[in-house]
Structures are given as C-alpha cells and as structure tokens.
Amino acid sequence: MLQVHEIRENKDQFIKALAKRGIDATNDLEAIIAADETRRNTQTKLDEVLSQSNKYSKEIGILFKNGETQKANLLKEKTTQLKQDSKTLQEHLKAAEEELQELLYGIPNVPHESVPAGNDEEDNEEIFRELDIPTLEEGSLPHWELAKKYDLIDFELGVKVTGAGFPIYKGKGVRLQRALITYFLDKNIEAGYTEYQVPLMVNEDSARGTGQLPDKEGQMYHITNDDLYMIPTSEVPVTNMFRGDLLKQDQLPIQCTGYTPCFRREAGSYGAHVRGLNRLHQFDKVEIVRVEYPDNSYKALDGMVEHVKDILRELKLPYRILRLCGGDLGFTAALTYDFEVFSTAQDRWLEISSVSNFETFQANRLKLRFKDENGKNNLAHTLNGSALALPRVLAGILENYQTPEGIKIPEVLVPYCGFDMIK
C-alpha cells in the first residue's frame, strides 16, 4: 500500500510510473489526496471540540468550587452539545479513514524505474538465458503422457476424488516430488535461510497484509464459516509472522524459507496451456522470503536471482530470466524477475519461479517497521521468491530428461530419490 505523504509529494512521478502498468492513476491519486484532506480537516475539528470540552470541564470545576453554580450549569449545557458534536465528528472521522484506506488498497505498487512499459507477457524483457535446449528424439512425449506411461501421476483419479487441477502422485512420482522439495529446502538453508513450517490457512488480516485481499480476480479459496483463506503461497503466512513488529536494524536481514502445498482457484483458466501440471489448483512450492533494510533490498533481490540460477544450473535445465513489464507485474510488486524452463516436448517456456521486491508496499499494510541507528521508525522492505515451484520443474525434468530407455534423474537429485532412472 502506498503512503499518503509520498502520493502528495510525488503525485506526478507516480502517475508516470503507474502508466507503465497501462493505467491512468490521475483520478485515483487525486481522490486519495482529497479523502486525506477530508480526514485531516475532520481530525482538526474534532481536536478543537475536544480541547474546548476539556477547557470547559476545568472551568466548571472551578466555578462550582467558588459557588458560581449558575455559570457552571450554563457551561455544562455547552459541554453536552460539545460531546454530541465530538461523537458526530468521530463517526465522520472513522468514515473518512475507512474511505481513504479503501482508496489506498485499490492502487497497485509503483513500478521500479527499470520496469519496461507494456501490456502483457508479450512485452516482458528477456535479460538472461543459460544452457542449450536439448534435442529430443522423434516421438518424445509431453509430461502428462510420460506421467501416464510410467505411472507417476494420475490426473483422472484426482478428478474423481476432488476435481480438475488436483492430481494424485504415485510411486516414483511421489519420491521425485519429495526429493525436489527436500533438495530445494536444503539449498535454501545452505544459503542462510531459516526453515519454517507454517499454517495452510490464514485470517483476513494476513491475506490483506501481503496484498491478496481485496481479491479482485477471485483466486483465493475462502472457508466461509471460519472466515479463513487457503494460502496461495507460503509467502503469505511467512511474511505475516512479522506483521505489526518493530524490529531493530541489526535484526535485518531476516531470511525465511518454507515448503507448503498452495491453493489457487485459477479462475478463468482453460485450454491446452493448462493441461497436465501446467496449471493446478493445488500444488507444492518452496518459497524464500526476506525482510530487508531498504538500502540493501535491491542487492538482496540480485542475490535471490543468483540463488535460483544456481539451483537451475545444478538441475541442468535450460532456462531464461524475464524482467516483467508493467502490464504483467503483480499488484504488490515494484520489480519482478520470472524464471522460465523450456519444455522441449511442449516447445514452449514454462514459468517456474518469480522473484520480487515489494519495497515498502507490503510493509505499510503489515505495519512492519524497524528502528534505525538514529532511533527513527522506518518501514522495512519485503521480498519473496519461488525456490522453486514444483509442478513445472517436475514437468521440465520429465520432458527434458526422457530417453528411449526411460527418464533419467538429474544427478543432484539421485541421493534424494534413491534411484537414477524411471523405467
């Protein structure tokens, strides 16, 4: 969430930056400034009424003490009216604050200066590519056919039990999935991240704190009776562990990792591009989260990018990195890098990780602050990344490592799997 004082000071700059997202924020930002003016004016009036009321209360006490009962009673009548006025103003102030909050919740983060303008994924900027795309033999299969051939994943059984987008893993498919999870966690821990096991459901405050609410796209599963939300990523509960905290500067950076199943409705998803593991309602993901000192956050972002690169190099999967354009940038992000693995059998790139810097956007919602060396309270910067999302990594391994004899297991995963080939 943007801060009102920053909007006041940088309105024209913000309008220009938000135009990269394909939106004209002029009217929205002006509405925020106007709503804040109403709030400030109402607060000033309320303060004046309360001050006058306190003054009269002191005078009434003195008048009664001096025996000037008539004058005291006249002032009491005035204080009665002032109490009514203060009640009305408090109601108006609450309404003004709520209006301002809702307007602020509707404005996405301001893109970083390096974010290219653009409308959608077609305008994203490729900044890095590594490893050659393997040449598969004729007759190579996409992962959903490989999963069926080697009895690794049963998509139809998942439909029977729950519905589309909830696959059931079997045998060596489960072991490979579990191997990837453990390997990712080990790599993250080795890099200095502390592992957490977190709830799979969060309350409304948590969902709002990291920007999943308001859920304009209807992507979250909501448990109505308990007013809880199934997590779309462990970023949500992990980041919210620090909601409302006032940290010391020497506590930064905070580095967290966690594995969770993730749940997304993926409303409106259909067609061939969602086949197999390409788009699921429930999937596994290992996440990394950082709480950073603002001056260090972009250096930290670069470090997270290098960390994901290292994992993909060890897996020996061909990948590329995209800097997302404004139109494809997530609501809460200032800058995002997407990692994509090439699916040889499908002949297309598949997103397997997003690494983002939210700057103060989430921290302002979370009231996540730190006290600097001068004793001043400042908003921290938050970052997160997938290291990594399981389904498409698994799809990439199945497709890129297939041979006529079976599916090879990446060398780095063999100790975790206990086998080197799926036949």
Give me the CATH topology for the region 121-422.
BirA Bifunctional Protein; domain 2 (3.30.930)
Can you list the positions of beta strands (E) in 15-123? none
What is the phi/psi pair of residue 52, to 5°? -65, -40
- Report long-range pairs for 162-170 (Cβ below 8 Å, ≥24 apart): 162/282, 163/281, 164/281, 165/266, 165/279, 165/280, 165/281, 165/282, 166/280, 166/281, 166/282, 167/277, 167/280
Number of H helices and E strands in the chain, helices first, is 12, 19
Q: Are 235 and 206 in contact (CB under 8 A)?
A: no
- Domains of the chain by residue range: 4-105, 121-422
Q: What is the pLDDT of residues 171-181, one digit of tens each?
A: 999 999 999 99
pTM listed for this prediction: 0.92
The pLDDT, as a whole number, for residue 271 is 53
**Residue 134: pLDDT band with limits 50, 70, 90:** confident
* pLDDT, mean of residues 62-73: 80
Taking residues 298-318, report their average pLDDT: 97
Domain 4-105 has CATH 1.10.287: yes
Mean pLDDT, rounded, for 364-383:
96
Given this model, what pLDDT does residue 393 score? 96
Residues in the chain: 423
Q: How far apart are CA 10 and CA 13, in angstroms?
A: 5
Helix (H) or strand (E) holding 73: helix 69-105
pLDDT tens digits along 71-109:
878 888 888 889 999 999 999 999 999 999 999 999 999
Say what the pLDDT of residue 136 is.
82
Residue 244 pLDDT exceeds 90 = yes
Same fold for the pair 4-105 and 121-422: no
At a CB cut-off of 8 Å and minimum separation 6, what does 137 contact?
403, 404
Half-sphere exposure of 258 (CA within 13 A, CB side): 22
CA nearest to 2, candidates 238, 306, 332, 273 = 332
Residue 267: the pLDDT is 65
**What is the pLDDT at residue 78?**
84
Q: Tell me, rounded to whole angstroms, the distance of Cα 271 from its chain centroid.
A: 26
